[in-house]
Amino acid sequence: MLRIEQTPSAGGDTLFSSMYAAYEALSPTLQQFLGTLTAVHSGDRAYRGRYGYRDADKVYPSAEHPVVRTHPETGRKALYVNGGFTQRIKGMKPKESDMLLRFLYDHIAYGVAFQCRVRWEPHTVTMWDNRCVQHHASWDYFPETRHGYRVTTVGERPV
């Protein structure tokens, strides 16, 4: 859940994308193949060298998750990769992994049929399920600021 208190004069929108719809838009053949794969995710990719930290010796958490996860409540399948944290596909050569991940990232980014855009106003509240939705915050309002409060629950291990 996110509540925005302060908005810039323009920009700062957030795009949300349904990973159910992204998965369902793929061919059955590709769905089946992706269902056999595991990806390595790491905070290193998202945080190393950012926010002014000197973190050369820091070890960021890493985890392995299926490329296609099944939502524990709905039983629906969803893509479970993202450009911020997914480093590689296990068992693939680096070039193969990079190619497949780039395809999936582009599929998600350009899949406007499964996206919605929130144009923030002060006190706007959004809620989403990180198990089946990705979001991307636009950083197009510098030097102005956007400020809000976010609450995130601890989820279960993806299956």
156 domain-assigned: no
157 domain-assigned: no
Return the CATH number at 75: 3.60.130.10
* Gyration radius (Cα) of the chain, Å: 17
Q: What is the pLDDT of residues 80-112, one digit of tens each?
A: 999 989 999 999 999 999 999 999 999 999 999
Rounded Cα distance between 75 and 154, Å, is 19
Question: What is the number of H-type helices and E-type strands within the chain?
Answer: 4, 11
158 domain-assigned: no
- Domain encompassing residue 34: 2-150
Is the entire prediction scored with pTM above 0.85? yes
Q: What is the pLDDT of residues 60-88, one digit of tens each?
A: 788 999 999 999 999 999 999 999 899 99
C-alpha to C-alpha distances, 32 to 28, 36, 37, 48, nearest whole angstrom: 6, 7, 10, 34
158 in Cβ contact with 12 (< 8 Å)? no
Number of domains in the chain: 1
155 domain-assigned: no
